[in-house]
Chain A
Amino acid sequence: MISAFVDGFVELQGWLLDRVVQPPLLAMGMGSHLEMAFDGVEFFLCGVLQLAAAYLLLRPLEALRPIEVWTDRRAVRVDVLYSFLDRLGVIPLLMFALLAPLFALVDGWLRFEGIIPPQLEDLVPALESRPLASFVAYLILIDFAEYWRHRLSHTLRWWWALHAIHHSQRQMTLWTDSRNHLLDDLSSGFWFALMALLIGVPPGQFVGLLIAVRTVENLSHVNARLSFGRLGERLLVSPRYHRWHHALELPTGRQYRFGCNFPVLFPVWDQIFGTQYLAQEMPSTGLSDGPLPESAAQSGFWRQQWEGIQALLATFRPNPHRR
C-alpha cells in the first residue's frame, strides 16, 4: 500500500513537472533548474498533503473541543492565506531565490580561500551510514537552533517588531503557525542557511524533517483542549505548552522579560535555559501591548506587512520611553 502511494505520488509529481513546470522553464532558458523544480513540485505536493491532513484531523478537534468559541472567525482567514502561501511553497521559493545566491557566493568564496565548511558527519562519521541516527541528530540540532532563533526574535527589538505579527492573532488556530511577516520569514531563512553552512545541510530525509517540524507546529497552535499528559508535555511541545508562549498575560512574577516556552519540538531547551512556564489553564492569546497597532489582530495580509515594516522602522528611531 505504501509502495502504491509512493508510486502514485511520484507519477503525479512527474505529470505536474511535465505539463506545468517544465514548458515555461525550458522556454525561459532555465532548463538547468529542472531538477530543483522537480524537488519543488515534491515540496508543493507534500504541502497539499499536510494542509489536507491538518484540516481533516485538527479542524474537527477544534470544532469538538474548542478552547475558545468565536462567533466571528473572519480574523482567522488571513492565517489560512498565510498557511497556503507557506505550505504550498510560494514564500519558501521567494526566500530561497533571495538567499541561495548569497550563500552560494559566501560558500564559493570560502572554498577559494581553502576553507570547506564543516559537516556534522565530519565530526561524527558514524552518522553517514545510520539514517535513523542521522535523522534524530539533525532533528535535535535544528530544534536547538530554532529555540535560539525564536528566542532572539523575541529579544532583538527589530526582530520582535516583525515577529509580533505572529503574536498579534487573538484567535489562535491550527492555521496561525504560518502567520509571519515576510521579513521575519527572510530572517528565519537566513538563520537556517547559516546553520546549514556551519553544520551542513540535513541529509536525504530533509522532507521528513520538515514534515515532523511542521506537523508539531500545526498541532501546537490548535484551538482545542488537548493534553499530552504530565510527562508528555515535558517531552514534546503541546497546544497548552505553546499557548502560554502566545499568552496575552503571564501571572505576576512569572513574566520573563522576553517571553517563555520558545521551542518548536522539545521543551527541554526551556528547562535548560530557564525559560519554561507550565500551567494547567488555557490562557487567552494575543498582544497586550507592543510594537503593533491594535488593528493588526484584524488586518489583512498586505496591511499586516505594512504594519510590520512601520514597526520595524520605529525601532530605529530614538525613543526614550521604549522598553
Chain B
Amino acid sequence: MIPCPVSSILRLTGKLLVVLLLTWNIAAEAGLAIALNSAEGTISLIDTETYEVTGKVTVCKEPHHLMPTPDDKSVIVACAAANQLVFFDPVSGREQKRIRDISDPYQLGYSPDRKWFVATSLRLDRVDLYDPVDFRLKARLPAPRAPSHMAFDNASEFVFVTLQDSNEVMAIHLGTQKIAWVMPVAATPAGIVMAPDNRYLLVASMGEGVVEVIEWRFQTSVRKVATDTAAHNLQPRGDGRHFFVSNRTVNGSISLLDTKTMTVVDKFDVPGGPDDMMVRADGKELWATARFARKVQVIDLTTKKLKISIPVGSSPHGVFFLNHAGLR
C-alpha cells in the first residue's frame, strides 16, 4: 500500500512536535532561576544558561525567602509584609496560586518527614507550625528575639531556629509543638544547618564571623570556625561533606567549610554582600544574591572566580533553580 502523503506528513509533524516539546521542557527545566528582590517586591526570572534576565514580575511586599515544595512542582515565595505565600511554577516562572493570611512569613522549611511546614516571623518574634497539606496553623510559639533561619534533625523530631537578636538557638519539639530548649550561641546567629552526620548543628554568626559547631543533643558548643566578617548563611555543596558559607559584607566572600574536619578549606571574594546561595547540580557554578549590590553573582567553582554579575532588583535575597545540587 502506498502511504498517504498527508498522514505521513501529519505523523512526522506530530513526532517533531513531541520532540520539540520534550526538548523545550528539558531546556526550560535546566534554565530558570528565580531571584527575590525583597525591597521592591518583585522577582527576577533569569535564564541560567545565558544569564539574561528574561522577566521581572511584581509579586508582593517583601518577598525574602523561597523554597520548593517536596514534589518540586512549585516554588513557594514567602511574602513577609503581605502575609502571603505565593506559589510559582519553577519551570516557567508563572504564578500558580496564593495563600493569604499566613502571618508574616520570613523563612520557610519543610520537616524531612514532610509532616510540618514551618515559618519564622523575624519581625514579630514568632515561629509558626503549619499543616503542610492545607497550610492551617497548628501552633504559634513566641520566639524572642528575631527568629531567623531554621534547620531540622534527620528524624524530624526538632526544628532549630536561630534567634538573631538574643544570640540564641531555640529547639522546638515538633511532636509536642513546645519549646524544648534554648541555648546561647555566638553573636547575631543567622544561617543554621544540620551537618550530614546529624550530630552537629552549624550556626553562622554575623557578630563574630564564625561558624559555630554545636553538638545539639547535649546543647554544647564544641568549636568556632572562623570564616570572615559577618558570616551569614550556609548552603551544601551537594557532596555530603562541604558547605559554602556566605560572609555578607559589601566586600564580602564565600568560604568553603569541610564538615569532616570542621575547617575552612577555601575562600573566594564575592562582592556586594553575598546572602542566599544555590549550587548547580553539575557542581560547576555557585549562585549568590548580592544583597547590597542589586545583583546575583555567579561564581565559577572551577576557577573560583566571579564569572558574571546579573543585575536584578533592590535588596535581592532568596534565589532558587530546580537544577541544583541539593538543599540539605
B187 contacts A129, CB within 8 Å? no
For the complex, give the distance between the alpha carbons of A201 and B101 in Å. 16
Give the number of chain B interface residues (Cβ < 8 Å). 48
Residue-wise, chain B 197-229 has the 8 Å CB interface mask toward A (1 for contact) of 000000000110000000000000000000001
Q: Is the CB of A200 within 8 A of B207?
A: no
B263 at the interface (CB under 8 A from A): no
Once the chains are docked, how many angstroms separate the CA of A119 from the CA of B165? 28
Residue numbers in B under 8 Å from A14 (CB-CB): 250, 272-273, 292-293
Is B83 on the interface with A (CB-CB < 8 A)?
A: yes
Q: Which A residues are in CB contact (< 8 Å) with B142?
A: 112
Q: Given the complex of chains A and B, what is the CA–CA distance between A26 and B146 in angstroms?
A: 16
Whether the Cβ atoms of B230 and A31 lie closer than 8 Å is: yes
Interface of A, helix, strand, loop or mixed by DSSP = helix
* Beta-carbon contact of A111 and B103 below 8 Å: yes
Residues of B within 8 A of A128 (CB): 58-60, 82
> How far is A34 from B121 in the complex, measured between Cα atoms in Å?
18
> B100: which A residues are within 8 A, CB to CB?
122
Q: Tell me if B187 and A29 are in contact (CB < 8 A).
A: yes
- Whether the Cβ atoms of B58 and A129 lie closer than 8 Å is yes
Main secondary structure of the interface of B (DSSP, over half): loop
Chain B residues near A22 (CB-CB < 8 A): 230, 249-250
Instruction: Give the docked Cα–Cα distance between A39 and B249 (Å).
Output: 15
Contacts of A31 in B (CB 8 A): 164, 187-188, 206-207, 230
Q: Name which residue of chain A comes closest to B100, CB basis.
A: A122
Q: CB < 8 Å: which of A18, A29, A201 contacts B207?
A: A29
Please tell me which stretch of B7-15, B24-32, B38-46, B153-161 contacts chain A, meaning at least 4 of its Cβ atoms lie within 8 angstroms of it. B38-46
Is B300 located at the chain interface by the 8 A CB criterion? no
CB of B140 within 8 A of CB of A112, answer yes
**A26 with B123: in contact, given A13-B292, A31-B187, A116-B103 (CB under 8 Å)?**
no
A44: Cβ under 8 A from any B Cβ: no
Q: Which of A15, A32, A130 has the most CB of B within 10 A?
A: A32
Known contacts A17-B250, A18-B249, A22-B250; A35/B291 CB under 8 A: yes
Decide yes or no whether A278 CB sits under 8 A from chain B.
no
CB 8 Å contact bits of B291-319 with A (1 = contact, 0 = none): 11110000000000000000000110000
Question: Within 8 Å of chain B (Cβ to Cβ): is A156?
Answer: no
Asked whether any CB of chain B lies closer than 8 Å to the CB of A294, the reply is no
Instruction: Confirm or deny: A203 has a beta carbon within 8 angstroms of a beta carbon on chain B.
Output: yes
List A contacts of B165 (CB < 8 A).
32
A71 to B85, CA, bound (A): 62
CB-CB nearest in chain A for B141? A112
**CB of B69 within 8 Å of the partner chain:** no
Q: Is the CB of A111 within 8 A of B124?
A: yes
Q: List A99-134 residues whose CB lies under 8 Å from chain B.
A: 104, 107-108, 111-112, 116, 119, 121-122, 128-131, 134
Contact at B206–A204, with CB atoms within 8 Å?
no
Shortest distance from the beta carbon of B77 to any chain A beta carbon, whole Å: 12
> A232 CA to B186 CA in the complex, in Å?
59
In the complex the two chains form, is A10's CB within 8 Å of B294's CB?
yes
Asked whether, in the complex, the Cβ of B42 is within 8 Å of the Cβ of A204, the reply is yes
Is B126 close to A, CB under 8 A?
yes
Nearest chain B CB to A121 CB, angstrom units? 7
> Within the complex, which residue of B83, B207, B248, B250 is in contact with A119, where a contact is CB–CB below 8 Å?
B83
Smallest Cβ-Cβ distance to A128: which chain B residue: B60
Residues of B contacting A30 in the complex (Cβ-Cβ under 8 angstroms): 188
Q: Is A38 an interface residue (CB 8 A)?
A: yes
The reply on B107 being an interface residue by CB < 8 A is no
For the complex, what is the distance from the CA of A130 to the CA of B42, rounded to whole Å? 11
Question: Which residues from chain A contact B89 at a C-beta distance below 8 Å?
Answer: none
Residue from B83, B146, B148 in contact with A116 in the complex, judged by beta carbons closer than 8 Å: B83
| B-side contacts of A104, CB under 8 Å | 123-125
B58: which A residues are within 8 A, CB to CB?
Answer: 128-131, 134, 204
Most buried by B among A39, A112, A122, A128: A128
- Inter-chain CA distance A38–B37, complex, in Å, is 14
At the interface, yes or no: B182 with Cβ under 8 Å from chain A?
no
A-B contact pairs, 25 of them (CB 8 A): A10-B293, A11-B293, A14-B293, A15-B250, A17-B250, A17-B292, A18-B251, A22-B230, A22-B249, A26-B230, A31-B188, A32-B148, A32-B190, A34-B206, A34-B230, A38-B273, A111-B103, A111-B104, A116-B103, A119-B82, A121-B82, A128-B60, A128-B82, A130-B58, A203-B61
Extra contacts, 10 of them, besides A11-B293, A18-B251 (Cβ < 8 A), are A14-B292, A15-B250, A17-B292, A26-B206, A35-B315, A38-B292, A111-B140, A200-B82, A203-B41, A204-B39
The 4 closest A-B pairs by CB, nearest first: A204-B40, A18-B250, A31-B206, A31-B188
